[in-house]
A and B are shown apart, each in its own frame.
Chain A
Amino acid sequence: MSETVKHSLMFAFVGVLIILDGTTSFGIFAGSWNSALGILNMGLVSAIMALGVNLQWGFAGLFNVGIMGFTALGGLAVVLVSSSPTPGAWSQGGIGIIMALILGALTVVAAVFITKNMTKGKPRVLALTALLIAGFFAYRAVFDPAVSGVEAINPALYGSLGGLGLPVLLAWPAGGLLAAGAAWLIGKTALGLRSDYLAIATLGIAEIIIAIMKNEDWLSRGVKNVVGLPRPMRKEIVLQEDPGFLDTAASLGLDPVVASTLYVKITYSLLFTVVLLALLWMAQMGLKSPWGRMMRAIRDNEVAAEAMGKNVTRRHLQIFVLGSAICGVAGAMMTTLDGQLTPGTYNPLRFTFLIWVMVVVGGSGNNFGAVLGGIFIWFFWIKVEPMGAGLINFVTYGLADDSALKLHLLDSTAHMRLFTMGLILLLVLRFSPRGLIPEK
């Protein structure tokens, strides 16, 4: 069997799994198209994230442990770009916040300027310290009243700046830009040093991005969440009142409620597929181009590539920013799909580690592998909990229903996910490090 046929069969297998989930309720399958399309949509988003991580890891060998942070920044972009502006927020302090942020940025720029242009020694240290302290207090003096002004506006409904009210599709590239900015900052400091340092720095930035999103209420309402984000298509309720739509649904023999949810989900699937295909095409073209060859040459032997006159650190920075931007786009798409931004739900297991499992299982260094891994592992991830519960019920078959051990085990099935995913990663790394679709 040729490689291409084998790989197409793998994709077909995942397709069949999703179709089975839509059609039959045997075993782990849900038997509803709603659930099947839900899995497919998140699978597509996961595939895009995996594509971004594959760019960093598969092409360049960069270990990014902060995917969660870049995804969350994408979600933040949706709120900032597409939610409607809070009435009065700009006059109550929005401008003050922007001024404070500019002031903070200017302080940092001035600090960099001093570091670069003064000779080493006591005067430089003194000047830097004085500048940073003055800058910090000036920043706080402008920032604090502005923030309390914004947060005081009807906190139960708004209490944040709100967004620009632009179409939600614009938020997707904006999410990519935000993530790229954060990645540039991290890459600039940690790249060019040992590979471990990038991992540690990305781990840190992800935690901090989440902390900021949870605590800065003026930005995105913090843990009060932003709900009801706009959508790129009509809402279910609107559809159910549209006579044209109702007629079409009736002619297909579908219940209007079911038809409207399916319509929304299928539209998302199509949109996501378009984005995925576009990114996949770009990644494939990149991989084949001289640029991609250079990247792999750097990955395989940094010293040799440097000897050939390649600036390894700059190239690493470039691909790190690109990969993170893709994660940001995917994060924005995911928040659009959810229709809400809930900073409390971001956890590293789901948003960093799972993506890694997808890339490694799918085949690092191969874009199709990343896509396959993304959709397949997402399916598995959704289904591992019913599987775990079934397994524990089976193992504890002989125990009484109210035995403490059985109850404890059943309570803990949720944590099986952590364990199973860790196990899968270790097994694949050990026994099949090239993944399902290996790099050519």
Chain B
Amino acid sequence: MDLLNALVALTNYVMIPAVAYGSQLALGALGVTMIYAVLRFSNFAHGDTMAFGTMVTILITWWLQSMGINLGPLPTALLALPFGILGCMALMLFTDRVVYRFYREQKAKPVIFVMVSLGVMFMMNGLVRFIIGPGDQRFSDGERFIVSARDFKAMTGLREGLAFKTSQGITIITAVVVVAALFWFLNRTRTGKSMRAYSDNEDLALLSGINPERVVMYTWMIVAGLATIAGVLYGLDKSFKPFTYFQLLLPIFAAAIVGGLGNPIGAIAGGFVIAFSEVSITYAWKKILRYLMPENLEPDGLVQLLSTDYKFAVSFVILLIVLLFKPTGLFKGKSV
């Protein structure tokens, strides 16, 4: 019984949150990695791209709510999501047209691109704060739980409850669908193949008649989609705040680098590696150990390795270790 309780507590406090957070990070890291693969720079504006797409979605969600439209048990934001993606795509294509294209034609060094993306990041950040304000926004509605802790306890008679939030369920399902669709697109469609060709060898791709501007355009559109979905899922699961989205940049970069920059499978794996380490290192294990240890050996402290204030330090340390020992990432990325 104690073992079962420990298992339930582990699932409730570590596994489910980490899987949901990992899916969100994986989607974010996929965006970073796609930009890296095709445009060959680390996009510092990615966190704020997520924030922008989420903001558009939130505004449309509020409008739909005021019209009395909702999805019943599901959050209205899902209905608004396509519009958010469209808005974010428009912004991405506009930024590419007025900012990045010039440097592409110049064949500027990657570090110049990184710097330019920093400028774009601050403009987007300013724009988001200007429109929706710097504060916390909650926009989830519908059923809060698929399984609530109390129902679970009543059902099983265990001492530990297991809560499964709707937002977590939606996150996991959406992530699986989006990743499957992305891989299908990259591996099966003509455009996807031309993107991979361009990413592998630019000169050869140009020789075989692939239009680079088209590849770049599709990349930005896909990235806008991924960023908005990741941002909305994160916002539904936690809450939306422009500064938090800027801070997400660090775990997202860490995830992309751990997996190997430019490698989509690596980005997904990296997202989960970062999420699981972050959650398990900042979780207070006392609750679980209490079930597993004999009574006289119970721990006094919280058995928390690091306080949650340092959750970014976890992704950073993992990043440093990967850079020190395996700079190309777990799955072979493009860069050294």
Which of chain A's residues have a CB closer than 8 A to the CB of B130? 412, 415-416, 419
Which of chain B's residues have a CB closer than 8 A to the CB of A415? 126, 129-130, 134
CB distance from B252 to the nearest CB of A (A): 10
For B111, B112, B127, B336, the residue with the greatest tally of chain A CB atoms inside 10 Å of its CB is B111
B123 at the interface (CB under 8 A from A): yes
CA distance A196 to B313 in the complex (A): 19
B307 at the interface (CB under 8 A from A): yes
CB-based contact B122/A63 at 8 Å = no
CA distance A65 to B41 in the complex (A): 15
Q: Tell me which of A412, A417, A425 contacts B118 (CB under 8 A).
A: A425
CB-based contact B111/A63 at 8 Å = yes
A288 at the interface (CB under 8 A from B): no
Which residues in window 298-336 of B have CB below 8 A to A? Answer: 301, 305, 307, 309-310, 312-313, 315-316, 319-320, 323-324, 327, 335-336
CB-based contact B116/A426 at 8 Å = yes
Which of chain A's residues have a CB closer than 8 A to the CB of B134? 415
CB-based contact A426/B310 at 8 Å = no
CB-based contact B123/A418 at 8 Å = yes
CB-based contact A426/B316 at 8 Å = no
- With A197-B323, A422-B119, A425-B119: A412-B129 Cβ-Cβ less than 8 Å: yes
CB-based contact B323/A215 at 8 Å = no
* Chain A minimum-CB-distance residue to B112: A429
Interface of B is mostly: helix
B88 at the interface (CB under 8 A from A): no
CB-based contact A196/B111 at 8 Å = yes
Which of chain B's residues have a CB closer than 8 A to the CB of A190? 323
Which residues in window 66-117 of B have CB below 8 A to A? Answer: 99, 102, 109-112, 114-116
CB-based contact A430/B123 at 8 Å = no
Interface of A is mostly: helix
CB-based contact A417/B126 at 8 Å = yes
CB-based contact B112/A426 at 8 Å = no
* Chain A minimum-CB-distance residue to B121: A422
A28 at the interface (CB under 8 A from B): no
Query: Mask for A415-436, Cβ within 8 A of B = 1, else 0?
Result: 1111111110110011000000
Which of chain A's residues have a CB closer than 8 A to the CB of B220? none
B257 at the interface (CB under 8 A from A): yes
CA distance A431 to B312 in the complex (A): 37
Q: Tell me which of A211, A420, A430 contacts B313 (CB under 8 A).
A: A211
B133 at the interface (CB under 8 A from A): yes
CB-based contact B126/A199 at 8 Å = no
For A193, A196, A211, the residue with the greatest tally of chain B CB atoms inside 10 Å of its CB is A196
Query: Mask for A339-364, Cβ within 8 A of B = 1, else 0?
Result: 00000000011000100100010000
CB distance from A362 to the nearest CB of B (A): 15
CA distance A312 to B328 in the complex (A): 20
* Chain B minimum-CB-distance residue to A352: B118
CB distance from B121 to the nearest CB of A (A): 7
Which of chain A's residues have a CB closer than 8 A to the CB of B125? 418, 422
Which of chain B's residues have a CB closer than 8 A to the CB of A421? 122
Q: How many chain B residues touch A (Cβ–Cβ < 8 Å)?
A: 49
* Chain B minimum-CB-distance residue to A413: B130
B253 at the interface (CB under 8 A from A): yes
Q: Tell me which of A189, A200, A205, A211 contacts B42 (CB under 8 A).
A: A200
* Chain B minimum-CB-distance residue to A424: B119
* Chain A minimum-CB-distance residue to B305: A136
Which of chain B's residues have a CB closer than 8 A to the CB of A416? 126, 130
CB-based contact B115/A429 at 8 Å = yes
B120 at the interface (CB under 8 A from A): yes
For A61, A204, A360, the residue with the greatest tally of chain B CB atoms inside 10 Å of its CB is A204
A166 at the interface (CB under 8 A from B): no
B247 at the interface (CB under 8 A from A): yes
CB-based contact B250/A203 at 8 Å = yes
Which of chain A's residues have a CB closer than 8 A to the CB of B254? 204
B221 at the interface (CB under 8 A from A): no
Which of chain A's residues have a CB closer than 8 A to the CB of B116? 426, 429
CA distance A215 to B307 in the complex (A): 9
Count class of interface residues, chain A? 35 or more
B44 at the interface (CB under 8 A from A): yes
- With A215-B307, A426-B116, A430-B102: A353-B122 Cβ-Cβ less than 8 Å: yes
Which of chain A's residues have a CB closer than 8 A to the CB of B257? 197, 200
A194 at the interface (CB under 8 A from B): yes
A231 at the interface (CB under 8 A from B): no
CB-based contact B99/A426 at 8 Å = yes
A201 at the interface (CB under 8 A from B): yes
CB-based contact A208/B111 at 8 Å = no
CB distance from A222 to the nearest CB of B (A): 10
A338 at the interface (CB under 8 A from B): no
CA distance A418 to B45 in the complex (A): 13
A207 at the interface (CB under 8 A from B): yes
CA distance A421 to B41 in the complex (A): 22
CB-based contact B114/A426 at 8 Å = no
CB-based contact A215/B309 at 8 Å = yes
B55 at the interface (CB under 8 A from A): no
B236 at the interface (CB under 8 A from A): no
CA distance A212 to B306 in the complex (A): 12
CB distance from A306 to the nearest CB of B (A): 15
* Chain B minimum-CB-distance residue to A61: B111
- With A203-B249, A353-B118, A426-B119: A208-B99 Cβ-Cβ less than 8 Å: no
CB-based contact B133/A412 at 8 Å = yes
CB-based contact A418/B129 at 8 Å = yes
* Chain B minimum-CB-distance residue to A415: B129
CB-based contact A200/B312 at 8 Å = no
Query: Mask for B207-231, Cβ within 8 A of A = 1, else 0?
Result: 0000000000000000000000000
Which of chain B's residues have a CB closer than 8 A to the CB of A24? none
Which of chain A's residues have a CB closer than 8 A to the CB of B121? 422
CA distance A190 to B324 in the complex (A): 8
CB distance from A295 to the nearest CB of B (A): 16
CB-based contact A201/B320 at 8 Å = yes
Which of chain B's residues have a CB closer than 8 A to the CB of A63? 111, 114-115
CB distance from B300 to the nearest CB of A (A): 11
CB-based contact A189/B310 at 8 Å = no
CA distance A288 to B224 in the complex (A): 47
A214 at the interface (CB under 8 A from B): yes
CB-based contact A208/B118 at 8 Å = no
Complex A-B, nearest 7 residue pairs according to Cβ-Cβ distance, in ascending order: A419-B126, A418-B126, A422-B122, A422-B123, A415-B129, A204-B316, A425-B119
A-B contact pairs, 5 of them (CB 8 A): A212-B310, A348-B246, A419-B127, A422-B122, A425-B119
B residues whose Cβ falls under 8 Å from a Cβ of A: 41-42, 44, 99, 102, 109-112, 114-116, 118-127, 129-130, 133-134, 246-247, 249-250, 253-254, 257, 301, 305, 307, 309-310, 312-313, 315-316, 319-320, 323-324, 327, 335-336
Other A-B pairs, 11, CB within 8 Å; known A421-B122, A426-B116: A63-B115, A199-B44, A203-B249, A208-B310, A208-B312, A215-B309, A356-B118, A412-B133, A415-B130, A425-B115, A425-B122
